[in-house]
Each structure stands twice: as structure tokens, then as C-alpha cells.
Amino acid sequence: MGAPASDYQPLPLPDRVQRLPDEALGAARDFLGYMRRRHSVRDFSADPVPRAVIEACVAAAGSAPSGANQQPWHFVAIAAPAMKARVRAAAEAEEEAFYSGGAGDEWLRALEPIGTGAEKPHLTVAPWLIVVFAQRYGVAEDGTRFKHYYVPESVGIATGFLIAALHHAGLVCLTHTPNPMKFLNEMCGRPVNEKPVMILPVGYPAADAVVPAAAKRKKPLEEILTVLD
């Protein structure tokens, strides 16, 4: 998309989804229960997932709010086995350096309850990899640059939408962040104004899939919420 338009044209609110207070509470609790069934999974089935499902989930991510509505994101969905193998090889090279001391002792201790390591078989077993790119600045059709606003926040919101959409579609995923990830620009053919921020392996869980017990320990509401009423 080009530089943002400068004119403001208000539209009547296109959609209204209000509920009565009791209905709202029930809906919120139902959603909480449903999202509590979402798990980050490292053990994937190789069963295929239709491209149309991935496209619909990414479209949901694209509906997220963003700074100045500039939508500073791009998603690359990879299903080709050879391409996934290239991504895995490059990611594992970075992870090997990370787990060999690059991360520091404190970070590695924090990861111990999660049970992660340098090997990432999910990157080739999962039927899809979705690479999330953040556009650090925009480029107009004439090649001039323009500033994007609140890029990390906007891309984070869109990624949250994507993860929720994948869960709603009956799929599982994993937030994978090898560091650095510059190799993904060349592999995915993305321009220099985009920064890869995450790889999401996506698919169905393997029959013998497990999750770390530590992942089920969530902070209670009183630790994450302050109410001033």
C-alpha cells in the first residue's frame, strides 16, 4: 500500500456486536475457557492443512488494528518441503550458537522448564511455516519512504489475532524466534524494510504430542489485573 491518505471520511459504524451484560459475561467466560485450551505445540502431525485455511487465518490477522492504520506487517506462508528444510537448517545454526553459550546462563536457566534445545524438527514436520515480518517503514509507489508508527505493538496485535484464528480453526502453532533471523529476508524474497520477527510452525498436533507442565502455570488474575473503579 502507498502512503496513508490525508483526508478523513467518517463512516457509520458498520457492525455492532453488543451483548446484554449477562450475555457479555457468559461470552467472555466461554472465550476464556476456549483460549485456555490453546497450547504451544512442538510435536506436529505431518497431516496436510488446506491452503485456504491458512489464507483465512492470515486474513483475520490482517484485520487487526495498527498505528495510523498503516498495517506494517507481511506474512509468508511456506509449505514447500525444500524451503522448510532450508529454514530449519539456518534456524538450527543460530540456535546452536544460542544454546552453546550465546544466550547466557540466566536465559538458559529460564528455558529449562520448557524443555527446548537447538534441534527444531517441527520446522520440517509441520505442514506450514508462517513467517511474520514487521515493516520498519513504508515505501510509496514512487519509491519514497514514509514513517510507520507503533510497529512492534501493531505486529504483536496482528500476530495475536493470527494465533487465535489458528486455534479457532482447530490448529496448533508454536512461536519460534531464532536470533538473528536476517536469513529469512533472502529466503522469502522480502525487502530490506521488513524485519522477520517470528516463525509459526502450524498444523495438527501429533498423536503423542506433549507440552511442558510449566506451560500450564499461568499467573492468576490478581497478579495481572489492577482495577481502578
| CATH number for the domain that contains residue 112 | 3.40.109.10
Let me know: does 174 contact 40? Beta carbons within 8 Å: yes
Residue 107 lies in a domain: yes
Q: How far is CA 78 from the centre of its chain?
A: 14
Query: Does 175 map to a domain?
Result: yes
Residue 214 inside a domain? The answer is: no
Burial tier of 60 (Cβ tally within 10 Å: 0-12, 13-18, 19+): middle
Assess if residue 158 is contained within a domain.
Answer: yes
Using CA atoms, how far apart are residues 222 and 158, in angstroms rounded to an integer? Answer: 26
Residues near 94 by Cβ (< 8 Å), separated by ≥ 6?
178, 179, 180, 181, 183
Does residue 23 form part of some domain? no
Distance (Å, rounded) from C-alpha 99 to C-alpha 62? 34
Rounded CA gap, 61 and 162, in Å?
5
The verdict on residue 212 lying in a domain is: no
Residues 106-160: tens digit of each pLDDT:
878 888 888 888 899 999 999 999 999 999 999 999 999 999 999 999 999 999 9
Is residue 222 a part of any domain in this protein? no
Range of the domain at 183: 40-206
Residue 178 lies in a domain: yes
1 band by pLDDT with thresholds 50, 70 and 90? low
Domain count, the chain: 1
Q: What's the pTM?
A: 0.93
Instruction: Report how far apart the first and last C-alpha atoms of the chain are (Å, whole number).
Output: 42
